[in-house]
Structure 1
Amino acid sequence: MKISGVDIRPGNIIEYEGGIWKAVKIQHTQPGKGGAYMQVELKNLIDGRKNNVRFRSAETVERVRLDTKDFQFLFADGEELTFMDKENYEQIVLQRDLLGDQAAFLQDGMDVIMELYDEKPISVQLPDQIEAEIVEADAVVKGQTASSSYKPAVLDNGVRIMVPPHIGAGTRVIVDTRDSSYVKRAD
């Protein structure tokens, strides 16, 4: 499906210069001279390269539709992650760097959505939020009572996040996997 260059939105998958790219960030710019354009930060879904491209309204790009399938994360073995297709129980092994920083949030038995292009996995979507335990939290600095003051903490998966002062080690919390941010205390 062809779309105008100025209609690209974050998360769109497009075909550009013979590759499959995901729009990460966009910025619409209207200079004083000349026509408006869309500045788009693209990430190549095959090899991970990044590229900044300007698209004018007259330019069109091919928007790619990806197939999605439900998978379950089974286990990690070094840099290899093993997933199981929930329909036919076939297993697939992917490299950890395909998930990037989000790989730390994988939990045994977690349901994920895998995006496929020509039957080849190119990205894995984790649930937006997971539950994790705080294993280490810095002490609150006395006198630091501003309501927006957060302190560093470490989750049981090794990820560092910022939490409110009342959260201590041993507390179970809900974390947003997209930006590694604290959401709330788990019930």
Structure 2
Amino acid sequence: MRALEASRRLSRAIFTAASSSRLELLSSLDCHRSTAAASVGHGHAPLLRSPWLATQHRGVKVNASHVKPGNVIEKTGKIYRVLDAEHKQQGRGGAMMQMELRDVDTGNKVSLRFGTEEAVERVFVQEKSFTLLYTENEVAYLIESDTFEQVEVPLDLFGKAAAYLKDEMKVKLQLFDGKPLSASIPKRATCTIKEVHANVKGQTVTPRYTKALLDNGLTILVPSYLESGEEIFVNTEDDSYIGRAK
């Protein structure tokens, strides 16, 4: 525990120091931008701060049946992140797509229906890789290794996958106009079995799988021959056992 706390303190120190350095660098860059802008003659368009922003709002028309959770769509001038998309049959009325959406600007959830062949504007998002420094008070502190950019995002951006977060884990953020919309982790994570549920007393045949409590608090099914203290690989998408880590 002392070693873990020391590691987190070091991560916080690095985060704070890197933030200060980055602010100084941005200040210097702003000065250079101002000088460059002053030297640009009339009739010349100013340089874009980020090429991504020039194409951020460009999307593509797709059938509603092709929209998946995690996608970002535009509807009546509003931008939504798709939380869930379910195909439903409406009897003689034909098939429909029932979508649970979150308004990117307000954070409010809405439920909308689309015809399966109805055209939907799917908006492209930017995906960036980060390293998790540590988590604290329902917040994840991340850093990009190449630019040392730091961000703080709420753990709920990771959804149920937040249970697998560990210091120094590589994660990805999906952003729209620089605003984090969602976050994802690797499909495979290493966990330690904390406790294996005992077999039912009087059972004559040993079951192939048994429930096991992991060090992150999740309970999954593992082969019955595994014991407490063993490290295993787990599929973070469906919480299924993959194999021994060693």
Shared topology, TM-score over 0.5? yes
CA distance in 1, matches of 2:147, 2:67: 35
Aligned CA distance change for structure 1 residues 152 and 41 (closer, same or farther; 3 Å): farther
Q: What is the identity percentage for the equivalent residue pairs of Structure 1 and Structure 2?
A: 32
- Flag the 1:93–1:12 CA change in 2: closer, same or farther, 3 A: closer
Q: For residue 96 of structure 2, what is the amino acid of its counterpart?
A: M
Contact 1:71 1:112 in 2 (8 A): yes
Q: TM-score, normalised by structure 2?
A: 0.66
Q: 2:132 matched to 1:76?
A: no
**Matched pairs, number:** 182
Aligned match for 2:227, one of 159, 168, 171: 168
Matched to 1:107, the amino acid is: K
Give the corresponding residue for 1:40: 98
Structure 2 CA distance, aligned partners of 1:92 and 1:79?
A: 14
1:22–1:45 contact (8 Å) kept in structure 2: no
CA separation in 1, counterparts of 2:178 and 2:130? 14
Aligned to 1:156: 215
Q: Deviations over 1:2-44 (max 9, x none)?
A: 122233345433223523222534325363x23x333233242
Q: Using the TM superposition, give the Cα deviation of residue 74 of structure 1 relative to its aligned residue in structure 2, in angstroms.
A: 0.5
Aligned positions of 1:100-179 closer than 5 A: 100-141=159-200, 142-147=203-208, 150-179=209-238
What letter corresponds to residue 157 of structure 1 in structure 2?
A: N
Q: 1:102 to 1:137 in 2, by over 3 A?
A: same
Q: Identify unmatched segments of 5+ residues in structure 1.
A: none
* Alpha-carbon distance change, 138 to 98 in structure 1, aligned in 2, over 3 angstroms: same
1:60 alignment counterpart: 119
Q: Distance in 2 between matches of 1:128 and 1:162?
A: 17
Alpha-carbon contact 1:5-1:55 (below 8 Å) kept? yes
SS for the counterpart of 1:99 is helix
User: Equivalents in 1 of 2:116, 2:97: separation in Å?
Assistant: 11
What's the counterpart of residue 88 of structure 1?
A: 147
Are residues 122 and 9 of structure 1, via their aligned partners in 2, closer, same or farther at CA, if it must alter by over 3 Å?
Answer: closer
Q: Does 1:21 align with 2:81?
A: yes
Between Structure 1 and Structure 2, which shows a larger proportion of strand residues? Answer: 1
Contact 1:23–1:40 (8 Å) recurs in 2 = no
**Where in structure 2 are there 5+ consecutive unaligned residues?**
1-59
Instruction: List structure 1 segments (4+ residues) > 2 angstroms apart after TM superposition.
Output: 4-13, 23-26, 28-31, 36-43, 45-51, 140-147
Cα distance in 2 for residues equivalent to 1:136 and 1:146:
17
- Distance (Å, rounded) in 1 between the aligned partners of 2:110 and 2:221: 28
- Please say if residues 13 and 23 of structure 1, whose CA atoms lie closer than 8 Å, have aligned partners that are also in contact: no
- Please give the TM-score of this superposition, normalised by the length of structure 1: 0.84
- Check if 1:49 corresponds to 2:109: yes
The alignment's C-alpha RMSD in Å is: 2.3
Report the CA distance shift for 1:38/1:98 in structure 2 as closer, same or farther (over 3 A): same
- Given residue 37 of structure 1, which amino acid in structure 2 is its aligned partner? A
